[in-house]
């Protein structure tokens, strides 16, 4: 469980946690989970409203599907996310707005539109993104994708010790961000389950998540309905909810601070149960 004296995480002028819910809102027509249900501007804005009403602390807006698919250039990504960020900022001034992007050009535009956090799920392919976060005084997620290029899948990827590789990479990226001027209390680390990892490696990270939380950096886990859960349990995308809640519970017990999810109400209940069981 997170220690009461764990380092603070501060975004949008307030302290976040200890169990913060990050709601996924994808402005993509080809999302693996919702199949484009929130691609339209109005649908995406409504989804944000529901997430906030359900208790989300953070909304994570994405304009590019993580996996392989149709090319989405910078101009199209900007079209999908910048106006939505501005509208969410106006409608929900207290919520923390995160944008899932690896591109510095997009980071710059969404920071100007009101974003509080840049969620670099691909582990730093554009080193300028940290500079953008520093220049605008906003937060940064430092993740691990095994040096995989954005939107690609691993092929027979191997690590001598996957957790050691993750810890080494994300802590180095976090320290680099702070050296560039990102506030230390606005940096998170994310092992990025399934990004540059197979199921066995993602399960190993889950079991040993305490080694990441022991670094002192706030840990984000983004496991909702992912392939490693489906493969481990033999379940399709639509049947991974129970497995997702189990992984959230394990992650919370091992000290994770932020939980990126599709189902905000169930995640809130699962984390409340972890808190109650832990006394």
pLDDT digits (tens, 9 = 90+) for 244-257: 999 999 999 999 99
Tokens of 240: 């991974």
Determine the pLDDT at residue 156. Answer: 85
Of 238, 257, 232, the C-alpha closest to 246 is: 232
Q: How many CB atoms lie within 10 A of CB 235?
A: 15
pTM for the structure as a whole: 0.96
Determine the pLDDT at residue 4. Answer: 45
Determine the pLDDT at residue 3. Answer: 47
Determine the pLDDT at residue 35. Answer: 87
**CATH number of the domain located at residue range(s) 15-277 in this protein:** 3.20.20.20
Rounded Cα distance between 120 and 190, Å, is 9
**Are residues 261 and 224 in contact, defined by beta-carbon separation less than 8 angstroms?**
yes
Determine the pLDDT at residue 6. Answer: 67
Determine the pLDDT at residue 271. Answer: 97
pLDDT digits (tens, 9 = 90+) for 29-69: 998 899 899 999 999 999 999 999 999 999 999 999 999 99
Which ranges of the chain have pLDDT less than 50? 2-4
Task: Please tell me whether residue 139 adopts helix, strand or coil conformation.
Answer: strand
Tokens of 265: 């109400």
Tokens of 82: 């910048």
Q: How do strand 96-100 and strand 58-62 relate by DSSP bridges?
A: parallel
């Amino acid at each position: 469980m997170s220690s009461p004296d764990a380092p603070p995480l501060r975004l949008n002028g307030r302290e976040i946690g200890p169990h913060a819910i990050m709601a996924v809102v994808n402005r993509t027509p080809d999302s693996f989970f919702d199949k484009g249900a929130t691609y339209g501007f109005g649908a995406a804005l409504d989804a944000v409203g529901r997430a906030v009403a359900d208790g989300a602390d953070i909304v994570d807006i994405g304009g590019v599907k993580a996996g392989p698919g149709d090319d989405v250039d910078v101009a199209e990504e900007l079209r999908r996310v910048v106006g939505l960020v501005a509208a969410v900022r106006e409608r929900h001034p207290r919520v923390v707005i995160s944008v899932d992007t690896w591109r510095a050009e997009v980071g710059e535009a969404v920071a100007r539109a009101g974003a509080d956090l840049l969620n670099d799920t691909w582990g730093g392919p554009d080193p300028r993104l940290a500079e953008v976060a520093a220049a605008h005084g906003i937060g940064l997620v430092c993740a691990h994708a095994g040096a995989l290029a954005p939107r690609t899948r691993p092929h027979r990827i191997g690590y001598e010790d996957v957790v050691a590789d993750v810890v080494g990479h994300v802590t180095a990226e976090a320290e680099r961000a702070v050296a560039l001027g990102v506030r230390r209390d606005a940096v998170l680390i994310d092992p990025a389950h399934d990004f540059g990892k197979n199921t066995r490696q993602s399960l190993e990270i889950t079991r040993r998540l305490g080694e990441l939380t022991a670094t002192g950096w706030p840990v984000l886990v983004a496991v909702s309905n992912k392939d490693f859960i489906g493969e481990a349990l033999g379940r399709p995308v639509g049947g991974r909810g129970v497995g997702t809640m189990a992984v959230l519970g394990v992650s919370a017990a091992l000290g994770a601070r932020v939980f990126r999810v599709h189902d905000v109400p169930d995640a809130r209940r699962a984390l409340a149960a972890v808190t109650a069981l832990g006394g």
